[in-house]
């Protein structure tokens, strides 16, 4: 039997859990101010007069305003000298006043008014008549379409050149929040493995995963909660039906916590019972491919080099080539932070160079359809001296969590 898999139950595991997210340091007002300052410098470099932020994580990242997106336009604009204005539904004004960190005029609109015109009015208030306005790249199309229709002479461009340059380099506090979220997710992985038994369903496991995240200190339920058994493990993002665990099944669990708004994302694969020789060979190949990616991660190296390292290693072992299966059908990794997937992306064609402060997943999954899949996912953060793991990679197929080390 795989070490650390089975032998316990839901009640005992939940009862013995303690918070892992105590004494965390959230992002300070000073750090938000520094983000705004960096954005304004980049705006001047790119000849941008203002940025419009919709209710995306960019609004939270730069202005510390966290608003759930809906069909109503709700956002803020930042000009190149650092002035901020807010655009909100009239009935949300008082709540917005209570939420904002940085003062600024609040423009309101009634339900029968066109909020896009109010956004244009806010640019005029900021001293911009015919300027270049960068639109938050995560803005829903219906909002951009309305802004474009109401545009009174501005040039509208994508804000990604500014937002990406700020967000893909994480601060020490951001890395610490991600580390806390990683610690929770890894502990949930360990606890989940222990409650498995022959006959448990993927739905039952997912329910435990949700409870465990909350008990250990995740502020929200896991945004993703992938539990797969047997042949279904070959499908990277799961299957639309429940499965029941049987002796000898390979198990894949992909999950993540949030701490201070920052995500974690960890995948583990192991066998419930005794691994076959085929399981052992593919699992070890996956683990060695992870190491090939880690070794390729150096400051100044293009992101695509890491994806190349994964595919070259798998091709030499007889898989692929490229995205073909059996092999690795998706990119090797993605950044994370306030979003589960964000820049930098570890994918062919991405020539962006790695810099200290970047963090991203290392998950060169091996998919063998109609048989099984193995994904081991851990995240890397870059330092001036090279790559570092947020979490130690899986130890072995017989002892995935290194309990005998």
- pLDDT above 90: residue 101: yes
Long-range CB contact pairs, 187-191, < 8 A, 24+? 187/17, 187/20, 187/212, 187/216, 188/212, 188/213, 188/216, 188/255, 188/257, 189/253, 189/255, 189/266, 189/268, 189/401, 190/4, 190/401, 191/13, 191/17
- What is the mean predicted confidence (pLDDT) over 95-121? 96
Query: 363 near 355, Cβ under 8 Å?
Result: no
pLDDT at residue 196 in the model = 98
Per-residue pLDDT tens over the stretch 237-296? 999 999 999 999 999 999 999 999 999 999 999 999 999 999 999 999 999 999 999 999
277-296 helix and 303-316 helix, angle to the nearest 10 degrees: 150
Per-residue pLDDT tens over the stretch 194-239? 999 999 999 999 999 999 999 999 988 998 899 999 999 999 999 9
CATH superfamily label, 29-167: Creatinase/prolidase N-terminal domain (3.40.350.10)
Domain boundary assignment for the chain: 10-23+171-389, 29-167
Whether omega for the bond prior to residue 344 falls within 30 degrees of 0, making it cis, is yes
Instruction: Please provide the average confidence, as pLDDT, over all residues in the chain.
Output: 97
Query: 269 near 250, Cβ under 8 Å?
Result: yes
Closest Cα to residue 257, out of 335, 359, 340?
Answer: 340
- pLDDT above 90: residue 65: yes
Q: Does domain 10-23+171-389 have CATH number 3.40.50.300?
A: no
CATH fold match for the domains 10-23+171-389 and 29-167: no
Straight-line distance from the first to the last Cα atom of the chain, in angstroms, rounded to the nearest whole number: 17
pLDDT at residue 118 in the model = 96
pLDDT at residue 306 in the model = 98
pLDDT at residue 403 in the model = 96
Per-residue pLDDT tens over the stretch 358-393? 999 999 999 999 999 999 999 999 999 999 999 999
Query: 188 near 216, Cβ under 8 Å?
Result: yes
Query: 192 near 212, Cβ under 8 Å?
Result: yes
pLDDT at residue 384 in the model = 97
Residue 19 CA, distance from chain mean position:
22
Closest Cα to residue 208, out of 216, 258, 22, 19?
Answer: 216
pLDDT at residue 62 in the model = 98
- pLDDT above 90: residue 24: no
- 96: CB partners within 8 A, 6+ apart: 65, 86, 88, 106
Write out the chain in H/E/C secondary structure. Answer: CCCCCCCCCHHHHHHCCCCCCCCCCCCCHHHHHHHHHHHHHHHHHCCCCEEEECCCHHHHHHHCCCCCCCCCCCEEEEECCCCEEEEEEHHHHHHHHHHCCCCCEEEEECCCCCHHHHHHHHHHHCCCCCCEEEECCCCCHHHHHHHHHHCCCCEEEECHHHHHHHHCCCCHHHHHHHHHHHHHHHHHHHHHHHCCCCCCEHHHHHHHHHHHHHHHCCCCCCCCEEEEEHHHHHCCCCCCCCCECCCCCEEEEEECCEECCEECCEEEEEECCCCCHHHHHHHHHHHHHHHHHHHHCCCCCEHHHHHHHHHHHHHHCCCCCCCCCCECCCCCEEECCCCCCEEEEECCCCCCECCCCCEEEECCCEEECCCEEECCEEEEEEECCEEEECCCCCCCCCCCCCCCC
Q: How far apart are CA 319 and CA 332, in angstroms?
A: 15
Q: pLDDT class for 22, splitting at 50, 70, 90?
A: confident
Closest Cα to residue 265, out of 274, 273, 256?
Answer: 256
Per-residue pLDDT tens over the stretch 74-97? 999 999 999 999 999 999 999 999
| Integer CA distances (angstroms), 32 to 10, 62, 357, in order | 41, 6, 17
Q: pLDDT class for 21, splitting at 50, 70, 90?
A: confident
């Amino acid at each position: 039997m795989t070490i650390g898999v089975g032998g316990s139950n839901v009640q005992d595991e939940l009862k013995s859990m303690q918070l892992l997210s105590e004494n965390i340091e959230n992002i300070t007002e000073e750090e938000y101010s520094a983000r705004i300052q960096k954005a304004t410098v980049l705006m001047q470099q790119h000849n941008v007069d203002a940025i419009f932020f919709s209710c995306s994580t960019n609004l939270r990242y730069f202005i510390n305003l966290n608003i759930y997106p809906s069909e109503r336009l709700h956002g803020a604009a930042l000009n190149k000298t650092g002035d901020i204005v807010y655009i909100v539904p009239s009935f949300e004004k008082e709540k917005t006043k209570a939420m904002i960190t940085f003062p600024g005029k609040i423009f309101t609109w009634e339900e029968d008014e066109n909020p896009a015109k109010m956004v244009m009015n806010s640019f005029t208030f900021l001293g911009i008549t015919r300027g270049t306005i960068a639109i938050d790249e995560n803005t829903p199309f219906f909002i951009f379409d309305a802004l474009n229709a109401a545009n009174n002479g501005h040039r509208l461009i994508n804000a990604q050149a500014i937002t990406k340059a700020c967000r893909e380099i994480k601060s020490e506090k951001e890395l610490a929040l991600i580390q806390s979220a990683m610690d929770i997710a890894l502990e949930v992985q360990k606890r989940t493995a222990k409650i498995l038994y022959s006959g448990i369903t993927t739905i039952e496991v997912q329910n435990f995963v949700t409870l465990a995240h909350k008990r250990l200190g995740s502020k929200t339920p896991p945004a993703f909660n992938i539990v797969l058994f047997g042949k279904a493990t070959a499908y990277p993002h799961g299957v639309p039906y429940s499965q029941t665990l049987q002796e000898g099944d390979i198990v894949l669990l992909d999950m993540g916590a949030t701490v201070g708004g920052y995500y974690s994302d960890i995948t583990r694969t192991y066998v419930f019972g005794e691994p076959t020789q085929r399981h052992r060979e593919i699992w070890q190949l996956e683990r060695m491919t992870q190491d090939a990616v880690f070794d390729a991660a150096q400051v100044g190296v293009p992101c695509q080099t890491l994806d190349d390292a994964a595919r070259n290693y798998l091709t030499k072992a007889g898989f692929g080539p490229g995205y073909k299966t059996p092999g690795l059908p998706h990119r090797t990794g993605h950044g994370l932070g306030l979003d589960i997937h964000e820049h930098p992306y570890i994918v062919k064609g991405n020539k962006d160079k790695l810099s200290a402060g970047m963090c991203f997943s290392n998950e060169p999954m091996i998919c063998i359809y109609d048989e099984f899949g193995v994904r081991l996912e851990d995240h890397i953060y870059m330092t001036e001296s090279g790559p570092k793991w947020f979490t130690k990679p899986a130890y072995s197929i017989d002892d995935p969590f290194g309990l005998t080390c």
